[in-house]
Structure 1
Amino acid sequence: MNATEDAASAMTAIVCRAPKDYRVEQVARPRAGRNELVIRIAACGICASDCKCWSGAKMFWGGPNPWVKAPVIPGHEFFGYVEELGEGAAEHFNVQLGERVIAEQIVPCEKCRYCRSGQYWMCEVHNIFGFQREVADGGMAQYMRFPPTAIVHKIPVGVSLEDAAIIEPLACAIHTVNRGDIQLDDVVVIAGAGPLGLMMVQVAHLKTPKKLVVIDLVDERLALAREYGADVTINPKSDDALGVVRSLTDQYGCDVYIETTGSPSGVTQGLDLIRKLGRFVEFSVFGSDTTTDWSIIGDRKELDVRGAHLGPYCYPIAIDLLARGLVTSKGIVTHGFTLEQWDEAIKVANSLDSIKVLLKPKN
């Protein structure tokens, strides 16, 4: 193989090898097999779960069967252009060369009880792009392969790069808000105004609840939440969250509490703020264990506690909302870096200096 052929068969990628050991490397460029495609990555977001994984959080690295199986190319908030189609892939995915596409973050096995019943996002095997390479690596690279069981969606031409880059987290936000079953007369509290929380604010606003309340420790993020439709914002450093919420609800508490802080205090706060028979939706990925008095859930309030995982059946909705301008990345996407700038990118993403950081490979 000559130098030109060797360069064409390699690509730049971030390789996760261990906590805080992520390296910019030259690796083999993926090739498309039967019913597979390869995309040229346009952008890949750095998620809060990527930051927790990088820092060594127990849920990613601990136990006898850790979620992360290194070495692996991380990244699940990606989209790109169809670069190569394997045999049968055009018909299998209904796509053509050059089209902008995204794959859902989970790669279903299509064999377990959850996949067979349509609940594919809870797949027992649970391969997710960017954490295990059994089926394929993630999107923090120049190119990426979609295996045959990937769930692929097209992205309309009019959707900007920044908007397209938030389709995955927006789908998660939509699923989470839907789990809250928001009604027109509900007082809804969203705890956490990070990227996901700010997207949830926009989606919840479209549900037109009676009052939409957002809690966060960063005033600049609360200002964005108000721009996105929050009626009331609370900074616990200076405001009495319980007093404010009770004043809005005849002292009962909120009807729906959505936890997306990633902090254990967000859970205990929610159990205080929510009314009896309320709906508590838990979305966050935590870096440490959460301890609380479970009698609040049962004996005292009889709460309806609901989890929210991934963005099942919500990618088409996310794409449509972005295409119609009903949800935006403006104000959320704050930084962009090349793959070669990884060390700076993860530092900024893991701080309050940013909201959403994108990696944009040089192709």
Structure 2
Amino acid sequence: MNDQAASVRAAVLTAAETLGIQAFPVPRLGEDDALIRVEVCGLGGSDVTQYLGKLRPSSTVYPVILGHVFVGTVEAVGPRAARRWRVAPGDRVVTEAIVPCWACSLCVSGHYSLCDAGEDLLRYGLISADREPSLWGGFAELVYVPRGALLHKVSPAAPLDALALANSIASGIRWGGDLPAFKAGEVGLVLGPGQRGLATALAMMRAGADKVIITGRSSDAHKLEVAKRWGVDVAVDVDAEDVVDVVRHVTGGAMADVVVEASAVATQPVTDAIKAVRKDGRIVLIGLKRGEPIPGLVTDELIYKGVTVIGAMAANYSSFERACRLIERDGDLITQANTHTFGLDQVERAIHTLAGDVPGADAIGVSVEPGRA
């Protein structure tokens, strides 16, 4: 690392809606860890919730450096870490959001995104900055990466605006392709046109879908327009049309083979998913509802239809690898969904933009580039 880097700037949340820039010392590395110079860090809905102080109590910690979806170049790396991750200084990498324990039954069986380490689980953006070496979030110039982290090398030619969406693209590949075993020639329905919904629709199209249908509200017109530019067959404004009727018409009554419910908070899409899926179809649920029950949920229809229902939380190593390759190939297309980029001193504005608090912003993906002036 360059000797001139005496300290590292980071955006630190010290209480709900209280965020400022602080400086931290550059950590000393051992043989098994690394430092990543952050090029871009994407924002998600959880960043907004965390900023507002509305995460569940077990996940609320202060002070904390926000940001869990970051991409950057290897600034320095220990010799054992370099061999393990097969990286060298200057390599560009995508870093996954968690550092699993690699000891629990879920980790050793390949389900590390569900790691059962409890309080010992390291999750970027949710670790106190009081825990050395402090640099545990992507809204910083450097991030510390310990043994056990998951890194994915990606081309330096890949567009930063697309890489900011790497987590969403990886999740979409898993949720729209892997988990429901989506096959070429099938019809996919995605309920919700946010970053993850768009990524899921893209994954279905790349898997050879016969048709892909995506839904949103009138206020999501800019998101549905991106979906259409990406090649989605039908974009449904649910404020003007009944999605179940549209699916019935498009499929000639056969209904959708796979439905991915990707709407945060809203509960109506869950019941729509049950009505819109075909017999022996698959439903993937990814939209969190803040613990609220689903009004009008009748499970009998799932039984009568023989529907497989899958709950999904995160991407995995394989889907991240494929996301990197997809971004390298289709980065210029994916870039269209990253609508706003800010510098480190503008993190609060970035959060408010993603939250919809900035009139006329029409945000989809929002990112922070710590090196941006």
Same fold by TM (over 0.5)? yes
Q: Which amino acid aligns with 1:338?
A: G
The correspondence of residues 152-171 of structure 1 with structure 2, limited to 5 A, is: 152-171=151-170
Matches of 2:12 and 2:81, distance apart in 1: 27
The residue type equivalent to 2:346 in the other structure is Q
Distance 1:256 1:123, change over 3 A: same
Q: CA deviation at 1:327?
A: 7.6
In 2, the alpha carbon distance for the partners of 1:105 and 1:41 equals 14
TM-score between the two structures when normalised by the length of structure 2 = 0.87
Which digits, 9 at most, give the CA deviation of each residue in 1:109-160, with x for residues without a partner? 0110011122222111243211134796121111101101011111112212
Q: Gaps (5+ residues) in structure 2?
A: none
TM-score normalised to structure 1 length: 0.90
Q: Contact 2:159–2:335 at 8 Å: present in 1 too? A: no
Of 354, 357, 363, 2:363 maps to 354
**Structure 2 contact 64–127 (Cα < 8 Å) conserved:** yes
User: CA 1:27–1:326 in structure 2 vs 1: closer, same or farther (change >3 Å)?
Assistant: closer
CA RMSD of aligned residues (A): 2.3
For residue 362 of structure 1, give the secondary structure of its aligned residue in structure 2: coil
Q: Which residue of 2 aligns with 1:309?
A: 313
Partner of 2:192: 192
Q: Report whether the alignment pairs 1:102 with 2:99.
A: no
Identity, % of aligned pairs? Answer: 27
Q: Secondary structure at the match of 2:348?
A: helix
CA contact (8 A) 1:68 1:132 kept: no
Select between 217-226 and 15-24 the one with higher mean Cα deviation: 15-24
Is contact 2:230-2:333 (8 Å) kept?
no
Q: How does 1:1-363 map to 2 (within 5 A)?
A: 8-57=5-54, 60-62=55-57, 66-125=58-117, 126-133=121-128, 137-177=136-176, 178-217=178-217, 218-262=220-264, 263-287=266-290, 289-292=292-295, 293-296=297-300, 298-312=302-316, 313-325=318-330, 328-351=333-356, 353-362=362-371
Q: Mean Cα displacement is larger for which, 104-113 or 154-163? A: 154-163
Letter in 2 for 1:50: D
CA distance in 2, matches of 1:71, 1:268: 40
Output the CA distance in 1 between the equivalents of 2:172 and 2:16.
27
Per-residue deviation at 1:326? 7.3
Aligned AA for 1:34? E
Secondary structure of the 1:331 match is: helix
- 2-structure distance, mates of 1:90, 1:198: 35
Please say if residues 337 and 360 of structure 1, whose CA atoms lie closer than 8 Å, have aligned partners that are also in contact: yes
Residues 280 and 98 of structure 1: is their aligned pair in 2 closer, same or farther, counting only changes over 3 Å? same
The change in CA–CA distance for 1:300 and 1:240 in structure 2 (over 3 A counts) is same
Q: Distance in 2 between matches of 1:297 and 1:150?
A: 42
Runs of 5+ consecutive residues of structure 1 not aligned to the other structure: none
Change (3 A) 1:132 1:302: farther
Deviating more after overlay: 243-252 vs 152-161: 243-252
Classify the secondary structure of the residue corresponding to 1:124: coil
What is the rounded CA distance, in whole Å, between the counterparts of 2:288 and 2:242 in structure 1? 26
The question of whether the paired residues in 2 share the 8 Å contact of 1:202 and 1:327 is answered with no
Over 3 Å counting, the alpha-carbon distance change for 1:131 and 1:42 in structure 2 is same
SS at match of 2:336: coil
Cα 1:122/1:88, change in 2 over 3 Å: same
